[in-house]
Amino acid sequence: MTEHTLTVAGVAVDTRHWIGGERVASTETFTDVSPIDGSLLGEISRGTAMEAAAAVAAAKAAFPAWAATHRAERARILHAVADGVEKRLEELAIVETCDNGALLRSHRRGVMPRVAHNFRFFADWLLKLEHEDFETRGHTNHVSWDPAGPCVLITPWNAPLMLATWKVAPALAAGNTVILKPAEWTPLTASLLADIAAEAGLPAGVLNVVQGYGSEIGDALTSHPDVRRISFTGSVPTAKRIAASAAANLTPLSLELGGKSPLLVFADADLDLAVDLAVEQYDNAGQVCLAATRFLVQESVAEEFTRRFVAKAGQLTQGDPRDEATDIGPNIHPRQLEKIDGFVQRAIAAGARAVIGGHRGDGQYYAPTLLTDVAQDSEIVQEEVFGPVLTLQTFATEDEAVRLANDTRFGLAATLATGDPERAERVTAQLVAGTVWTNCFFVRDLQAPFGGSRHSGVGREGGTWSFDFYCDVKNTVTAPNGWRNHG
């Protein structure tokens, strides 16, 4: 081991940035701590505007050659990256669990396989990306997707590598170069990804990883005139700062932001299914942007739904996420735990009742919580908590259910439980959301559009929508029989 290497569960992780195909250390560091038990993971290079500028310069220098690389070769390299992810899947899973506290079993079975799938999907989509030529008064229109240039990708801590590669993979497939800025609370798997990409043959400078605090390097990245795309997943206040920073250069943005999504349960629903969907909202200790944190239950079944929910939630095991028996792990950081508890205690002081939970556990664990007797205009109903805290309200009619569901500033997702397909069609047509699930939850396909409405985001990514964002879409119009033979 060197002074720039730390070991997590037997896995060596380089703590330096990855810029232009080389490891670059900063003079200052920041501390990375595991949410599982508060143990020190290591000291990480703390980027400044200097490292941010160097990463953009490296991406700019590497862009022409990567953009000119044939589609098939870019796809081959992305598949090689996926191979590397699969080869190191167990290492990635345990490192990320130690770094962000999510369940190890989920990382092994779902999250890290999805990381590899992100690369394979966009590599394959690239090879079939086309728009049928069409004619206008005898002229031929041909649509193409041109690489845009260096892309800044700023990613969150709740699913660090999966959400990073959801952006990295299409950006690279499109022929762009990337500057990845991982969340400072979870930097480790981004560093491992840099190693994997280099081993897979990705040319130097095509992928760069800069670590540090957004407040210190964010503006240097998002305001840089050589950056041609910015994609961010995180909070609304941070998104507003990024948008203001990018405005000077009119840099296109893709923003995936917060949610306060509803779960609508109608009296004709399969209540066992509805309860299963409801308990699933505690996944990842409630740190899921898509989570349906507001239960809206029809009055006639609300009491029975609540009884079954309490019984089902009582079977959950909270504890060490490395244990296969654990269902709920810790929350990410003491600051986030304070935020969660503040929401709950203010709600209780305002008259809410904690049916279950309503308090901290040991360490960075928060008890799974369900609050009732909450007003529609209350903070706990209107603002994203991002923890294992759910609310329950009742409604009498379908129209009231839709009104309550749409009555926040967010519009990321919605979940609907009903046994009536006609009702499902009526209600889903009226819900303001980027994704609606009917009698299911968290079924995701990478070819589907993903994003939010209102304050939940700007734009859509997934399938061709990703290439539309990460490329300059061009239409070439050719006149009929307009060629001259210059002999």
> Which candidate in 51, 91, 184, 289 is catalytic?
289
Q: Strand 139-147 relative to strand 134-136: parallel, antiparallel, unpaired?
A: antiparallel
Select from 186, 165, 196, 5 the least CA-distant residue to 91: 196
DSSP state, 93? Answer: H
SS3 label, residue 64: helix
C-alpha distances out from residue 262 to 125, 295, 393, 453, Å: 32, 6, 10, 14
Q: CA 268 to CA 301: how far, in whole Å?
A: 9
C-alpha distances out from residue 256 to 24, 193, 410, 412, Å: 30, 22, 11, 8
The CB density around residue 316, as the number of other CB atoms within 10 Å, is 13
Residues paired with residue 265 on neighbouring β-strands, in sequence order: 297, 417
440 is catalytic: no
Return all residues near 163 (Cβ < 8 A) that are at least 6 apart.
155, 156, 233
Contact 414, 436 (CB under 8 A): yes
Q: How many CA atoms lie within 13 A of 157 on its CB side?
A: 25
C-alpha distances out from residue 162 to 107, 227, 313, Å: 10, 23, 27
Rg, Å, the chain Cα set: 24
398 is catalytic: no
Residue located via tokens 């409405």:
453
Phi, psi of 248 (to 5 degrees): -60, -30
The CB density around residue 319, as the number of other CB atoms within 10 Å, is 16
Select from 163, 231, 204, 211 the least CA-distant residue to 52: 211
Longest dimension (CA), the chain: 87
For the chain, the first-to-last Cα distance in angstroms comes to 67
> Which candidate in 96, 184, 256, 384 is catalytic?
256
C-alpha distances out from residue 332 to 110, 112, 115, 162, 284, Å: 20, 19, 21, 17, 10
C-alpha distances out from residue 268 to 419, 422, 439, 475, Å: 5, 12, 12, 50
Residue 251: alpha-carbon gap to chain centroid: 21
Catalytic residues: 256, 289
